[in-house]
Amino acid sequence: MENLTPFSERAESMGLIVNEEAGLYQYSDRYGEIIYRQMVTKDGDWHETDGRVLPSLAIFTKSEETENFIYGGRISDFYKFIGNDVLNQRIRDSIQDVGMAIIQENSFQNIFLTRLRNEIIIRSSQNVAEIGDVFPVMIVDNSYNGTKAATISFGISTLYDGDRIVFGFSLGEMRQVHIETSRTEMSSTISSYMEVFTENIADMISSNFQSTFTEDQMLSVMDVIEEFGKKRKEKISAILTEMQPPVEAGVVPPLPSAWQVFLAIVRYSSIEPNLNVKKLLENAAESVLVIPPRMYEVLERLQSS
């Protein structure tokens, strides 16, 4: 089985430049540069285990803005590598295959450059009366340290107060085993999402505008958000308050709609630098949405196809 083959024997086929003598494997693209180094025990003359090759590799990364490589952890000898831009280009090509154009890409990385989230916004908007133009999005998530399998998810993007906000569904998320299908199959998957997006996004937003949150629902969502930090909860609450129309002193403000709660969470998650928390916040936002049955069915099918 491929995943039991040592990294050194798979490195070249995974797109890495190999220096066997140095035990060094290198890859670079627009997002940065990574080097994997074979780990060995300390070389010396004090123990028989000195110089023994270990079944793991050290990670070193560098961006265009940094002069030196930084240590980013280690991986198992059986880790399956896929380059950030290799994965992103596969999605760009598939979007082009279905006759769509890309209008913008937003990329985010962690401080060690071992995790990437790239949001690919597609020029196929739907105008929704309540909020204006809404665009479909493909979100690519990849890691170089084995902590997360490569994934592709579907989402939406719109403007709020002049800022671009992006949300990705966890429903419909495709993992690496599905990503490695043929280009034709990937294009078909994107085409399926584009179709259900066009047919259902306006209904989804309108129905969530009309769905008023109960006090219990509000408390439940805020309790979940507080698990990610009290300050995050306070900032999301402040955003939600800004969305509410002004009321006279002494008057209890009305409860927000499901869309307003969703939008407040996504507004904050769009600027959240921690990629793990960003994803957890998106999951919390998704939990408040009323998703049309047809859209739900297609996303569920894409996830398991």
Q: Is 1 exposed, middle or buried (0-12, 13-18, 19+ CB in 10 A)?
A: exposed
Give the pLDDT mean for 107-132. Answer: 95
Q: Please give the span between the terminal C-alpha atoms of the chain, in angstroms, as a whole number.
A: 23
- Beta-carbon count within 10 A of 225 CB: 23
Q: What is the pLDDT of residue 183?
A: 83
* pLDDT tens for each residue of 146-169: 888 899 999 999 998 889 999 999
Yes or no: say if 171 and 154 are a contact pair by the CB < 8 Å rule: no
Yes or no: say if 134 and 156 are a contact pair by the CB < 8 Å rule: yes
Cα–Cα distance, 180 to 24 (Å, whole number)? 26
Cα–Cα distance, 7 to 55 (Å, whole number)? 9
Give the pLDDT mean for 173-185. Answer: 80
- Beta-carbon count within 10 A of 90 CB: 17
* pLDDT tens for each residue of 284-304: 999 999 999 999 999 998 887
Q: What is the pLDDT of residue 21?
A: 85
1 falls in which pLDDT band (50, 70, 90)?
very low
* pLDDT tens for each residue of 29-86: 999 999 999 888 777 667 766 667 777 899 999 998 888 999 999 998 889 999 999 9
Mean pLDDT of the chain: 90
Reading the block at residue 59, the tokens are 């990670």
From the list 106, 104, 97, 107, the residue with the least C-alpha distance to 123 is 104
Yes or no: say if 175 and 204 are a contact pair by the CB < 8 Å rule: no
Cα–Cα distance, 250 to 272 (Å, whole number)? 34
Q: What are phi and psi of 275, to 5 degrees?
A: -65, -35
Q: What are phi and psi of 175, to 5 degrees?
A: -90, 175
Q: What are phi and psi of 189, to 5 degrees?
A: -65, -45
Cα–Cα distance, 133 to 159 (Å, whole number)? 8
Cα–Cα distance, 114 to 102 (Å, whole number)? 25
Report the run of H or E that residue 62 belongs to, with start and end. Answer: strand 53-62
Cα–Cα distance, 59 to 305 (Å, whole number)? 33
User: What letter represents residue 268's amino acid?
Assistant: Y
pLDDT at 20 > cutoff 60: yes
Q: How far lies 290's CA from each of 7, 174, 204, 259, 267, in Å?
A: 45, 22, 7, 9, 18
Give the pLDDT mean for 176-196. Answer: 86
